Amino acid sequence: MIRKRVLYSVVCLLILISAYVQVHADPLLSQGRMISDRIMVFPDHATPNVFYYVPTRLDLTRAFGKPQFFFYKYVYIKSDSSGETERMAGGVLTLSVAFSDESADLKEMMGRNLEFKPIPVEELICVLNYSVFDGEEKKEEELSQRKTPWTKKNFTIPLSRKTAPYVWEIFEGEKSLGLSLDCEFTYSGFELKEGKFEEAQRTDRMAFPVSLSMKEYPDLFKVINLADKISFNYRQMTVLCFDFVNETNPDVMRKIVEIEIETARGQKDFKRIYFSKESETQQDLEFNIPEKKGGTYRFRITSISHDGRTQRGEWQQGNDFYLDVSEYEILVKDKRPN
């Protein structure tokens, strides 16, 4: 008998819409209609040629010709021990998704003189489901909690030594169940009742299968052996920045990340990484000088604007194998459960 084991990583996102949106985005929810049996559309309560649509799907965002996704699996294998078996040390999964843009299709179906906007979402709850056939135990684990702009979502999810091999097996075996992102989102507007506008809310759902081929994109999947790095105390890490892909801050043309470690001899060693529109969203970093045993690193972020202004942040402590320096309009950093 085949039994199904489902591991859940819950990512809860609460979206706060700005005052500008609240004033200018007022869909009339009582007069919605389905277009082409696919897209729900609501008129603006005051402007006849403005309509709001409910997105119908999520897509992996792309940059530099490839999906914005990567999966690192960390293992520990001593190269000088022939009898040593692979020990799982965990992993990190990163993906960037965006809601579909339906405006072009709607203009074709309803009229090019009309203006179409995505419905303003107030609350979004996403559940990332890992599905494999093994055993019957069902586990639920909340890995991250964030507040972000709703147009694009970045997930950087640390995976435990138990979860990482299951997720890796999904992509390695290209299993049909795979990884899926289930979303429930809430949006607000008005209803017309007895000639008066009253505030109203609606809830919708969608599912997004994260189907990515390891054979087609092998460079997005990496196995990192920590034994060599840990044995000799060489620090290796990955730095992430989605700001320029997501256009989070259009005024910034360049972001510099400085990372400093303390060497085994008590000296300082540091490296710089540069992010811009022309750079990759993820960059790997390796120090060639042995680090102090049990040491951590500290980092500082500098933003350079198009007009030449420079904003240098304070030094911060870090210790993870990956460092996400992306900016979010409203952000609660990943929290592991107590």
pLDDT at position 86: 60
Which residue in the block uniquely carries the two structure tokens 């009253």? 198
Instruction: Mark whether 144 and 272 lie in a shared domain.
Output: no
Which residues are paired to 271 by β-bridges?
259
- Strands 87-99, 39-43: pairing is unpaired
> Tokens 């078996």 — which residue?
85
On whether both 260 and 140 belong to a single domain, the answer is no
Higher pLDDT among residues 24 and 115, named by residue: 115
Same-domain status, 115 and 52: yes
28 domain-assigned: yes
Which two three-digit tokens encode residue 73?
A: 């699996």
Residue ending a domain, choose from 211, 241, 273:
211
Question: Tell me, what amino acid is at 245?
Answer: V
pLDDT given for residue 276 in this prediction = 92
Q: What is the mean pLDDT of residues 34-40?
A: 92
- What dihedral do alpha carbons 167, 169, 172, 176 form, nearest 10°? -80
- Answer yes or no: is 172 within a domain: yes
Three-state DSSP state, 4: coil
Q: How confident is the model at residue 333 (pLDDT cuts 50, 70, 90)?
A: very low
141: in domain: yes
Q: What does the alpha-carbon distance between residue 83 and residue 126 come to, in Å, rounded to a whole number?
A: 42
Average pLDDT, the chain: 75
Same domain, 155 and 279: no
Any domain includes 132: yes
Q: What is the pLDDT of residue 22?
A: 36
Domain's final residue, options 211, 242, 272: 211
Give 335's pLDDT tier (boundaries 50, 70, 90): very low
pLDDT of residue 20 exceeding 50, the answer is no
Collapsed DSSP state (helix, strand, coil) of residue 246: helix
Please check whether residues 135 and 269 belong to one and the same domain: no
* Residue 212 pLDDT greater than 90, yes or no: no
pLDDT for residue 338:
36
Are residues 205 and 238 both part of a single domain?
Answer: no
88's enclosing H/E stretch is strand 87-99
Co-location of 152 and 202 in the same domain: yes
Per-residue pLDDT at 306:
92
Within a domain: 320: yes
Mean of pLDDT values over 153-181: 74
- Clarify whether residues 149 and 11 are in a common domain: yes
127 lies in the same domain as 14: yes
The fraction of the chain above a pLDDT of 70, given in percent, is: 74
Do residues 26 and 158 share a domain?
yes
Domain total in the chain: 2
Q: What range defines the domain where residue 113 resides?
A: 5-61+96-211
Q: Does some domain include residue 311?
A: yes
Evaluate whether residue 22 is within a structural domain: yes
Position 141 confidence tier, pLDDT thresholds 50, 70, 90: very low
pLDDT over 70 at 8, yes or no: no
Beta-carbon count within 10 A of 65 CB = 5
Of 10-14, 35-39, 55-59, 187-191, minimum mean pLDDT range? 10-14
Give the span between the Cα atoms of 286 and 217, in whole angstroms. Answer: 23
Q: Are residues 202 and 290 in the same domain?
A: no
Mean pLDDT, residues 202-214 taken together: 83
Tell me the pairing of strands 179-193 and 39-43. Answer: unpaired
Q: Residue 307 maps to which CATH number?
A: 2.60.40
pTM above 0.95, yes or no: no
Give yes or no for residue 186 having a pLDDT over 90: no
Query: pLDDT tens across 75-108, in order?
Result: 877 655 555 556 666 788 888 887 888 999 999 9
Give 271-325 pLDDT, tens digit per residue: 999 999 888 888 888 888 888 877 789 999 999 999 999 999 999 998 777 788 8
**Residue 27 and residue 158 in one domain:** yes
Looking at the domain assignment, is residue 82 inside a domain?
no
Confidence check: pLDDT of 1 > 90: no
**pLDDT above 90 (res 173):** no
